Structure 1
Amino acid sequence: MLARIESLRPELRRSEQKVADLVLERPNAVINAPLATIAEEAGVSEPTVIRFCRAVGCSGFQDFKLHLAGSLASGAPYIYSGVSATDKPADLAAKVFDRSISTLMQVRNHLNIDAVEKAVDTLAAASRVEFYGHGASGIVAMDAQHKFFRMGIPTVAYNDPHTHGMAATILQPGSVVVAISHTGRTRDLLRSAELALEAGAKVISITACGSPLANISTIALYADVTEDTDVYTPMTSRMAHLAITDVLAVGVALKRGPELAAQLEKSKRNLQEKRLRDGTLISTKRQEG
């Protein structure tokens, strides 16, 4: 919840940002405080506090406090340790790993399981699945396509906006688009998602809560990750997106049952034929020498 609030803060109204700042600064105090106290300390009205709760994806004030309490009790560290030019390799490695672990725990603890179940059912019943993403999200889309095509579902991954824009217009009902975006605000991706919906397809998004992409999607899976993408390429958000696509792939595989298991086993046997046995490469080199 804290990661979600920080991610959404720039998009909130100025009065709602005051509530966000109070929660981020003193989350434990907010859990035990009544609505009137929070409004007074933030310098806003009580209806503003309720609007803030809804803006971060909760149904109301009590629902928000429950989610916040769950976040603090989960044990997931909410610590951002930025790297610096003076970091030694050991410190650098620790910071990167700690941030990655923290991000995965946060996403796991706040993933909407009902939405995951709906997404798995939708993908398992799809006649065609297309994955859209740009940049680092495009790499996630390609990885997801690599998982899903082995299940016998016609799949493709596009990371070019012109290409997925054209592809979205010719989709048929029964098709599903999985749109992946850290910000959920890329215009080309939003337009392709809209075109897919107009064509009768369903759109599953993996993105930030409250983003334009999440709002127009048939099903939205939230990956609220606080990350500075202005300097470095997205790292922790990419890992969160990969983990969510793994959950979907495993869920669809289990949904499709024993028939798919036999198909995957056949694929594995084919791969084994393409691998060198132990010592084969060494003996070949010796013969050439």
Structure 2
Amino acid sequence: MKASRQKLRSSALLSRIRASLAALRKSERAVAEFVLAHPDQVLQLPIADLATRAGVSQPTVARFAGALGFSGYREFKLRLAQSLASGVPFIHQDVGPDDKLERVSAKVFDRTIGSLLDVRNHLDSGELARAVAMLTRARRIDFYGIGNSGIVALDGQHKFFRYGVPTASYLDPHAMAVAATVLGRGDVVVAISATGRTTDMLATAAIAIDSGAQLIAITASGSPLARLASVSLAADVPEDPDVYTPMISRIAHLAIVDVLAVAVALAMGPPLLSRLERGKQILREKRVQSSES
């Protein structure tokens, strides 16, 4: 694979379009690809001109906007302009088989940092506040993640069990579905999915909601899982076709879980501090003390 270096415009909406490519119809994908290649041009184009340049009909452009959750092309252009104005440039670099180790390190870090900045800049503070309120009041918290997202679910359970709230993580789709049936009012599920389109996750989320639990989704905006959730925390991180690099979405999801953990701890206030400090003290006692020279 030949390494390439390309400067791209990063914005939440462009990331969302990239993440949605696989779910779009072929004709709608043609519109998406034109928008991704020429976002600044699109801001100046009437719907008829965009349709012509993308090689599709005007209704297809309208359907494309609707597939992303907008009322029409006018709203899409407005949101695109806002998103580009607040976006941050970053360097996108594919890893090549001939890259030296220091270049591999730099490329992986640059891509990860750029993605994290993009997610940070576009995390919805209102949705975040609602998620924190749910978790602070929760009777029980379950974390669901399948495959790569299971790592994030385990991390969430590891952080939140220290708060004295019954907490569990489920990675197996069958165990997850059964666990969802025993939930009830006051329980909260944090469902983690890079695409928000995994059938097992969607089925289990529906079971949890039907059981009376509230659902917080950490996933791609506009996805089926996001639409199911009471609160959706968007992490629109497109997975690059570069086969050498791991999925960056898991790092963005881990960062969002960290934000939730810190915010919930702050919301719980002073009564939680003594519990956390006691836990830290126990861990310190299990370490070999460093010798002073």
Give the TM-score normalised by structure 2: 0.87
Q: Deviation of residue 276 (structure 1)?
A: 2.5
2:199 matched residue in structure 1: 187
Q: Deviation of residue 73 (structure 1)?
A: 3.3
Q: Deviation of residue 67 (structure 1)?
A: 3.3
**Residues 257/58 of structure 1: CA separation in 2 closer, same or farther (3 Å cut):** farther
Distance 2:286 2:77 in 1: 55
Are the equivalent residues in 2 in contact too, given 1:57–1:209 (CA < 8 A)?
no
2:51 is paired with a residue whose SS is helix
- CA deviation vs aligned residue, 1:177-221 (integer Å, no higher than 9, x gap): 111111222222222111111111111111122322222222222
Distance 1:59 1:263 in 2: 49
- CA deviation vs aligned residue, 1:229-258 (integer Å, no higher than 9, x gap): 794674311101001111111221122122
Q: Deviation of residue 81 (structure 1)?
A: 1.8
Determine which of 46, 49, 56 is the counterpart of 1:37.
Answer: 49
1:205 is paired with a residue whose SS is strand
Q: Deviation of residue 142 (structure 1)?
A: 0.7
Distance 1:47 1:229 in 2: 30
- CA deviation vs aligned residue, 1:136-184 (integer Å, no higher than 9, x gap): 2111111111111111211111111221111111111111111111122
Identity %: 54
1:102-141 counterparts in 2 under 5 A?
102-141=114-153
Distance 2:223 2:248 in 1: 18
Distance 2:242 2:103 in 1: 22
The answer on 1:174 being equivalent to 2:186 is: yes
Q: Deviation of residue 92 (structure 1)?
A: 0.6
Q: Deviation of residue 59 (structure 1)?
A: 4.6
Are the equivalent residues in 2 in contact too, given 1:131–1:179 (CA < 8 A)?
yes
Amino acid at match of 2:68: V
2:92 is paired with a residue whose SS is coil
Distance 1:10 1:167 in 2: 31
Amino acid at match of 2:238: T
Q: Deviation of residue 264 (structure 1)?
A: 1.7
Distance 2:267 2:197 in 1: 32
The answer on 1:209 being equivalent to 2:216 is: no
- CA deviation vs aligned residue, 1:82-138 (integer Å, no higher than 9, x gap): 212111111111110111011112212222222212111111111000001122211
Q: CA RMSD in A?
A: 2.3
Amino acid at match of 1:4: R
1:49 matched residue in structure 2: 61
Q: Deviation of residue 7 (structure 1)?
A: 1.4
Q: Deviation of residue 69 (structure 1)?
A: 2.9
1:287 matched residue in structure 2: none
Q: Deviation of residue 77 (structure 1)?
A: 3.1
Distance 2:269 2:131 in 1: 17
Are the equivalent residues in 2 in contact too, given 1:136–1:233 (CA < 8 A)?
no
Distance 2:60 2:266 in 1: 44
Q: Deviation of residue 12 (structure 1)?
A: 1.5
1:27 matched residue in structure 2: 39
Determine which of 91, 94, 99 is the counterpart of 1:82.
Answer: 94
The answer on 1:255 being equivalent to 2:281 is: no
**Residues 48/79 of structure 1: CA separation in 2 closer, same or farther (3 Å cut):** farther
Are the equivalent residues in 2 in contact too, given 1:184–1:213 (CA < 8 A)?
yes
Distance 1:200 1:245 in 2: 23
1:163 matched residue in structure 2: 175
Distance 2:236 2:182 in 1: 31
Are the equivalent residues in 1 in contact too, given 2:92–2:110 (CA < 8 A)?
no
- CA deviation vs aligned residue, 1:45-82 (integer Å, no higher than 9, x gap): 44433332232244543443343234433453355322
1:86 is paired with a residue whose SS is coil
**Residues 27/108 of structure 1: CA separation in 2 closer, same or farther (3 Å cut):** same
Determine which of 27, 30, 55 is the counterpart of 1:15.
Answer: 27
Structure 1 stretch displaced more, 46-55 or 250-259: 46-55
